[in-house]
Amino acid sequence: MLAGALALGAGGWAAVQALVRCAPTAQWIAEALDHVSAELIVAHLYVTVETAAWNAWPVQILAWAAARKAWRRFYDVGIVCAGVCLIATIGMLLTMCLQLWEAPALAKRSASSEWTLVPVVRALLTQIPGITVPLSYAIPLLLALMASQGVHEAGHALAAGLHRIKPLAMGLTLVAPLIPVAHVALPRLEGRLTRYEQLRVISAGVWHNACILVVIYAVLASGMARVFWTDAQALRITRSADADLREWLPVGARIFSVNDRVLAPMSPSARREIWEAMLHNDLPPTQGWCVEAPRWTNASDACCAAPTQLETCFKGEEARCLSTSDVLLLAARCNTTCDGVCVRPAPHESLAWLSLDGAQSTEQVILRGPFDTLPAYVAVSTERLVAWLRVWGLEAVGDMAAYLCSMLTFSLMLVNTTLCLLNMLPIAPLDGGAYVRLVLVEAFAWRYGGTSDTFALDADEEEAEEAPWAVRVERALWLVQMITYTLCAMALVRSLAAALHYVR
């Protein structure tokens, strides 16, 4: 998958460069952009479309004076939210740096080391199109990235418009290979806004991303989907993208048990947990299988060292190789007694046995792992359409719509969480750097006094002479940024180690 992702990215970027540089298409694009007062900037590693035609809309949207007070209170909450995100970001970096002491073994996958990762980082590492998931996953991720960045930059523009400051330009940059980056250029805020008002503008982008997360969680918690969906009393297969798997795990089939666990009495969340445990090979059988003593004695142990497709290494008093289907499907289970040898799959074996509803009766399906890439091809749901909608093929359409919505919802949650945390890193080019800078200036100004509320570190020389503590602020900023860069470098080492762990 990695080679395909690299080839697609390189090919797509070459197509974009050819489109904007080829004389006929370049001229047509330039004429089209002229009609909307936009400018095209072309470089080898990025292509930018920028316009000043929409600069007045943030001020116009908030022109109603009666609503300005409510909008100010709304963006005041954003200042607190940005501070919480800043603390969470530092906490995440510190956690990842402390995890470096664990020295995880990269030669072998293990569920325990996998789950020690910070949840956001783990989610990012498991959603890399073309590496850990199919390339088709790039579409909802890119759509979510474009929408979330647009909402983020709209937050800065609207918060500035609240104080009657128009943006200088708005634009979208496409960075190789095909990564969209939205931006809003604002004029100098120092000297025009108080430090508190500047914090409103700086925090507004992250606050908008947080609002998207709040809306998504509110919709999910409201149970609005219950109007059309009901409990399936099982796990329903809603997507089966692999041709080989589709024969055994067809779309619409229901899974009633996973590794001896009957799903019907469980809650939907418990069924999900069982499925996730199976994917991580953390769901051992509740009972063993009873194998005749002569058969066990005569079996070899070759597959325990060199695995094969048809045989599995079983563990009794010692390890032996037996036919997987003969044992799991035909052998009796060890209840209280066993006339032969009670065996179980060896701990290193990754097996799953499922009970599905077949055309005539319940069918048993055996899957051999590892299962970490199975979610890329098979999707399951704990719900199904209500009875009055399960006609005329609507259930298949509903499953597809639910699958697409779930992918887009997950992408939006992942992207917006990442934007909230990443943008609040206390580094100068990011929102977090400007946030910390203003907080430090406010703290030193309160401590020493003698400056106006609009004073900034890059103020004119006459005003700066009135605040000799500004040098201390500069030093504090430098120290904060150096510590952050160090933590980021250590966290990057941890992330690369984890990425190698996932790719293997």
C-alpha separations of 398 from 239, 241, 372, 412 in Å:
11, 17, 26, 21
Tell me, what DSSP letter sits at residue 227? G
Q: With 60 as the cut, is the pLDDT of residue 81 above it?
A: yes
**Mean pLDDT, range 152-177, rounded to an integer:** 89
- C-alpha to C-alpha distance for 94 and 90, rounded to whole angstroms: 6
**Mean pLDDT, range 365-378, rounded to an integer:** 83
pLDDT confidence tier of residue 393, bands split at 50, 70 and 90: low
Q: Is 45 exposed, middle or buried (0-12, 13-18, 19+ CB in 10 A)?
A: exposed
Mean pLDDT of the chain: 79
pLDDT for the residue 96: 76
Q: With 70 as the cut, is the pLDDT of residue 34 above it?
A: yes
Q: With 50 as the cut, is the pLDDT of residue 317 above it?
A: yes
**Mean pLDDT, range 269-274, rounded to an integer:** 90
Q: With 90 as the cut, is the pLDDT of residue 149 above it?
A: yes
Helix axes 68-99, 394-422, angle to 10 degrees: 80
Type of residue found at 336: T
* Residue whose pair of structure tokens reads 């489109």 in the numeric block: 19
pLDDT confidence tier of residue 69, bands split at 50, 70 and 90: confident
Contact 455, 496 (CB under 8 A): no
pLDDT for the residue 138: 79
Tokens of 460: 């004119």
The predicted-structure confidence for 439-485, as pLDDT tens digits, reads as follows 888 887 777 665 555 555 554 444 445 556 667 777 888 888 888 88
In terms of pLDDT, which residue wins out, 452 or 267? 267
**Mean pLDDT, range 50-57, rounded to an integer:** 85
For residue 345, give the nearest of 307, 299, 306, 312 by alpha carbon: 312
- C-alpha to C-alpha distance for 251 and 266, rounded to whole angstroms: 22
The separation between the first and the last C-alpha atoms of the chain, rounded to the nearest angstrom, is: 12
pLDDT for the residue 211: 95
DSSP states of 241-281 = -SHHHHHHS-TT-EEEEETTEE-TTS-HHHHHHHHHHHHTT
pLDDT confidence tier of residue 159, bands split at 50, 70 and 90: very high
Tokens of 465: 């002479």
**Mean pLDDT, range 149-156, rounded to an integer:** 93
Q: Is 192 helix (H, G, I), strand (E, B) or coil?
A: coil
Domain extent listing, the chain: 58-221+418-503, 231-387
Residues ≥6 apart with Cβ < 8 Å to 414 = 120, 123, 124, 127, 141, 144
Q: Is 45 helix (H, G, I), strand (E, B) or coil?
A: coil
pLDDT for the residue 113: 40
Least confident of 62-71, 99-108, 469-478: 99-108
Tokens of 356: 């599905």
**Mean pLDDT, range 160-170, rounded to an integer:** 89
**Mean pLDDT, range 147-157, rounded to an integer:** 93
Q: Is 42 helix (H, G, I), strand (E, B) or coil?
A: strand
The predicted-structure confidence for 108-122, as pLDDT tens digits, reads as follows 333 334 444 556 666
Tokens of 64: 């109603």
pLDDT confidence tier of residue 101, bands split at 50, 70 and 90: low
pLDDT confidence tier of residue 17, bands split at 50, 70 and 90: confident
The predicted-structure confidence for 427-440, as pLDDT tens digits, reads as follows 888 899 889 888 88
Q: With 80 as the cut, is the pLDDT of residue 219 above it?
A: yes
pLDDT for the residue 153: 93
Highest mean pLDDT among 285-294, 359-368, 489-498: 285-294
User: Strand 289-291 and strand 261-262: pairing?
Assistant: unpaired
Q: With 60 as the cut, is the pLDDT of residue 197 above it?
A: yes
pLDDT for the residue 44: 82
pLDDT confidence tier of residue 103, bands split at 50, 70 and 90: very low
Residues ≥6 apart with Cβ < 8 Å to 426 = 86, 90, 432, 433, 435, 436, 480, 481, 484
pLDDT for the residue 455: 52
Share of the chain above pLDDT 90, in %: 13
- C-alpha to C-alpha distance for 128 and 102, rounded to whole angstroms: 24
Q: Between vectors from CA 141 to CA 136 and to CA 143, what angle results, nearest 5°?
A: 105
Q: With 70 as the cut, is the pLDDT of residue 349 above it?
A: yes
Q: With 70 as the cut, is the pLDDT of residue 194 above it?
A: yes
pLDDT for the residue 112: 37
